[in-house]
Structure 1
Amino acid sequence: MCPPEAFASSDLATIPPSLEPESFIPPTDISQSAYDLASSLLAPAILSHSIRTYLYAQTLAASSNSIYHADPAKRDLLFVACILHDIGTTETYNGPQRFEVEGGDAAVEHLSRFGVVEEDKKDVWTAIALHTCNGIVQRMGELPALVRKAIEIDFGRRSEVEGVEDLAELKERFERRFARQQIEKVLGDAVVAQAIKNPDKAPAASWPGGMYRAHLTDPDWKGVNKAF
């Protein structure tokens, strides 16, 4: 639900001017340790993308008076889902399943250390495991939909969001602090590299599968994967 008036990004108290990690990471063991895990494993470009995804998601949650903004425990879930949504691209979590599913499993493993209830773990798993499934993830609950919409904003697939003013200014601010660093190429290459070693990680109808086919069609291509 949206408030009667548009949300002004400059009014968001949970996104401080400094944009230093210690200023926006929820001050809990769950979120702090999730950030430590992500920052120790993710490629810099993917870590910055994951941070921006959370900042956009938190903006969206605040603009809609979502429980994922108002409730500190739910905010932890939002943070974990965003900061770990691409953790499956790392070698540590490079298991036999597609990277999204490996990432969802890793997040559930993390949350289980803190006694998070099954329903909340399932929501985080769904948000991560289905985050590349456009048209499906949006119908799987509020948390998965928030994460997907934030990812779309970061990849330029949404130039306007209802209830949020000055989205372009917000993007410029976030990207000035957390540079893009060729995220599209870095992320695409990471997913394809896993598929080259294990094609089962890139099912034909999936986003990884599309990028893997694009690579096989033109293996000498050096730019952003044509199916990104």
Structure 2
Amino acid sequence: MDFSLDLPTGPLADAVLSAVRTSETPPVVNHSLRSFFFAQLLAAHEGCLADSAYDRDLLFAATVLHDLGTGSLAKGEARFEVEGADLAADLLRQHDVPEADIDRVWEAIALHTSPGIAERRGLLCHLTRAGVGADFGRTAEIVSPWEQRIHAEYPRLAMVRSLVDAIVERAARSDAAAPRYSLGGELLRERRSDGVTTLERAAASCPWGE
């Protein structure tokens, strides 16, 4: 299949990129952009590109903004997925995105760490979680023909450790940001008890590395 590293253009796309580049660490920004490209590759593999529910601009917004709750815009007043979804919705609203589409992006971001749920909440939720997962090595066999080009443009920069650091730092700010069995809550507890998290240990077996 044809594959391009071109990004969407226009005021909304520019605002999305500005939001992450000014509030997140470079490793998390690169992770979010790789997630977008991996999500597109998986959509093509699954034959979804012609689906009426497929919207490349919304997929860009959802994947690139999915960790906005780990950046400096987040206050740590709710779990990072929800806080990030709220921040993303505010940004999209400023650009007159229809409320129904804002709700789809909100849901995709809020559920991206919820296996077994995101996959049942429509194509955007499914592809967002799948793209993020591919950057952690899931479905590596599908995206591997293109991963070297993607990683050359957007290197990993010890992404897993940087992302966990950001999630844990915000989870530590309030009980509401670290509820039991949420990703942030569990990573915070693991860091406090063991000094290292299962997510960081799992990075050792990721085909792309940390």
Residue of structure 2 aligned with 1:185, choices 155, 161, 168? 161
- Residues 202 and 185 (structure 1 numbering): CA distance in 2 closer, same or farther, change over 3 Å? same
Q: Which residue pairs with 1:104 in the alignment?
A: 85
Task: Show CA shifts across 1:5-53 (max 9, x none).
Answer: xxx3xx22xx1xxx4xxxx221221112111111111100000001101
- Asked if 1:207 corresponds to 2:169, the answer is no
Asked which structure has the greater CA Rg, the reply is 1
Residue of structure 2 aligned with 1:81, choices 59, 62, 70? 62
Distance 2:62 2:197 in 1: 31
- Residues 116 and 192 (structure 1 numbering): CA distance in 2 closer, same or farther, change over 3 Å? same
Distance 1:86 1:67 in 2: 27
Q: Which residue pairs with 2:131 in the alignment?
A: 150
- Asked if 1:198 corresponds to 2:174, the answer is yes
Gaps of 5+ in 1: 1-7, 162-166
- Residues 108 and 68 (structure 1 numbering): CA distance in 2 closer, same or farther, change over 3 Å? farther
Q: Which residue pairs with 2:207 in the alignment?
A: none
CA shift, 1:183, in A, is 0.8
Distance 1:102 1:169 in 2: 34
- Residues 189 and 96 (structure 1 numbering): CA distance in 2 closer, same or farther, change over 3 Å? same
Distance 1:200 1:113 in 2: 27
Q: Match of 2:64, as an amino acid?
A: I
Q: Which residue pairs with 2:95 in the alignment?
A: 114
Task: Show CA shifts across 1:106-132 (max 9, x none).
Answer: 111111112222211111001101101
CA shift, 1:136, in A, is 0.9
Residue of structure 1 aligned with 2:146, choices 162, 170, 178? 170
CA shift, 1:76, in A, is 1.4
Q: Match of 1:191, as an amino acid?
A: I
Residue of structure 2 aligned with 1:56, choices 32, 38, 44? 38
- Residues 142 and 224 (structure 1 numbering): CA distance in 2 closer, same or farther, change over 3 Å? closer
- Give the conservation status (yes or no) of the 8 Å contact 1:137–1:145: yes
1:4-15 alignment, distance < 5 Å: 8=1, 11-12=2-3, 15=4
Q: Give aligned pairs, total.
A: 202
- Asked if 1:26 corresponds to 2:26, the answer is no
**Fraction of identical pairs, as percent:** 35
Q: Match of 2:91, as an amino acid?
A: H
Distance 2:70 2:165 in 1: 10
Q: Which residue pairs with 2:208 in the alignment?
A: none
Gaps of 5+ in 2: 204-210
Q: Match of 1:28, as an amino acid?
A: G
TM-score by length of 2: 0.87
- Give the conservation status (yes or no) of the 8 Å contact 2:66–2:81: yes
Q: Match of 2:34, as an amino acid?
A: R
TM-score by length of 1: 0.81
- Give the conservation status (yes or no) of the 8 Å contact 1:62–1:69: no
Q: Match of 1:218, as an amino acid?
A: D
- Give the conservation status (yes or no) of the 8 Å contact 1:30–1:114: yes
CA RMSD of aligned residues (A): 2.3
